[in-house]
Chains A and B, each alone.
Chain A
Amino acid sequence: MTSSGGATEVGTIEHLDRGPLDRHEMARIVARDIPAGSYVNLGIGQPTLVSDHLDPDSGVVLHTENGMLGMGPVAVGEEIDLDLTNAGKIPVTELPGASYFHHADSFAMMRGGHLDVCVLGAFQVAVNGDLANWHTGTPDAIPAVGGAMDLATGVRDVYVMMTLFAKDGTAKLVTRCTYPLTGLGCVSRVFTDHAVFLIADGQVTVSETFGISVEELRSRLAVPLLAR
């Protein structure tokens, strides 16, 4: 396995013998690409799985929006303390060196560009890095944004972890988002079950594929794909 970020420094790798990835395998690939020593926020849902794959020696420090750095694994049994939860309101633990702070500080940390990486789910990502992940825009949907816009706007590297295709088969990597936007031009990397994509300067580069070739990807996506 390559070291952190290693996949970006070589040519496109086609893993035709494995894939599509399940969510745990995707989480492992995301964890691999988080640079050692990063301060990281993991979004609720699938991105929380990434923490299971981080090397404890990597020096990665997890931030939770509700006011903590140094978040540890999910609490079990007697560890459960209802005053110590993550962004998904699930009881968690604290690691040595943890700190607590109030909400305005937590989001100042985010908005001020102090967090290195966040990992978010998405409905759609566009070639220009636009992200849509908070609202389907349907009339009966209750809008709920939480910290998604703050993360998309403030964190230096926004990683997205999602399936490449929606349940109805439509691609989620698109020319232009049709769902309401969360942030503009913010996404730098997209980890999917079929491939990893790098986004920069309005262009999408395939860095790695899983069980599919770059040519097949090109035939299934409407967006222009570069390979190296």
Chain B
Amino acid sequence: MRVVADPDEAVAGVQDGATVLIGGFGPAGQPVALIDALRRSGVSQLTVVNNNAGNGETGLAALMAGGHVKRIICSFPRQSDSYVFDGLYRSGAIDLEVVPQGNLAERIRAGGAGIGGFFTPTGAGTMLAEGKETRTIDGRDHVLEYAISGDLALVKAFRADRMGNLVYRKTARNFGPVMATAATVTAVQVDEVVEVGALDPEVVVTPGIYVDRVVVVRTPG
């Protein structure tokens, strides 16, 4: 784990065709500075995993508008301000895999926990289970869902120490802790980095073992 100088260094080395896990639930917890750095890197053909499919024209929406993304795995692409994605999807420029939100979170959790897949009742009997293995467990239908892991995870946290231990703020935590566990390289943008020992071990949410690169990006205001 190292603290890097800028967001570009935090995302360095990502390859074309990579799978990138991007934290955030809409704007809350979206690591915009890291996404912007990914866009500047010129990488292409990305598969992006995020709950949504971008808002307005910044962050994830800008990454898609720039033509860097070929496929998105998410639970809720359609929002009032998702027009960038909507246009790309309707023109066939981007592929979409819609996953129930809890299955999405659990697939990522499984990816970080070394579990290949799991049977879940969520989605059983619906069109999102079509073509998937189904098994009846305790009298209830369950669908097989496979783990998701990434080459790179981009996460926004509130504070890190120099060992990469992280704490988050309020509902901006959302997908950060599970995504941090599930990628080869986890890059985190934080408001501040503190010295080792300054974080109460009882309140650390993401242990530093999951974190590879930290960059300070102060949230305006």
A residues lining the B interface (CB < 8 Å): 64-68, 81-85, 89, 94, 100-104, 106-108, 110-111, 135, 140, 142-150, 153-154, 180-184
Contact = CB atoms under 8 A, between A and B. Distances in A.
A150 B103 contact: yes
Interface residues of B, number: 46
A168 B163 CA distance: 60
Given A144-B75, A184-B125, A65 B101 contact: yes
Contact of A108 (B51, B101, B106): B106
Contacts, number: 140
Contact of A100 (B126, B128, B170): B170
Interface in B58-116: 75-79, 86, 89-90, 96, 98-103, 105-106, 108-109
Nearest to A143: B98
Contacts of A89: 25-28, 79
**Interface secondary structure of A, over-half rule:** loop
Contact of B125 (A84, A104, A107, A181): A181
B102 A180 contact: no
B126 A180 contact: yes
A83 B171 contact: yes
B208 interface: no
A100 B173 contact: yes
Nearest to A150: B102
A123 to B, nearest CB: 14
Contacts of B27: 82, 85, 89
A85 B25 contact: yes
B78 A144 contact: yes
18 contacts: A66-B28, A67-B171, A67-B174, A82-B27, A89-B26, A102-B177, A104-B108, A108-B102, A144-B75, A144-B76, A145-B75, A147-B102, A149-B102, A149-B103, A149-B128, A150-B122, A153-B124, A154-B122
A86 to B, nearest CB: 8
Nearest to B172: A83
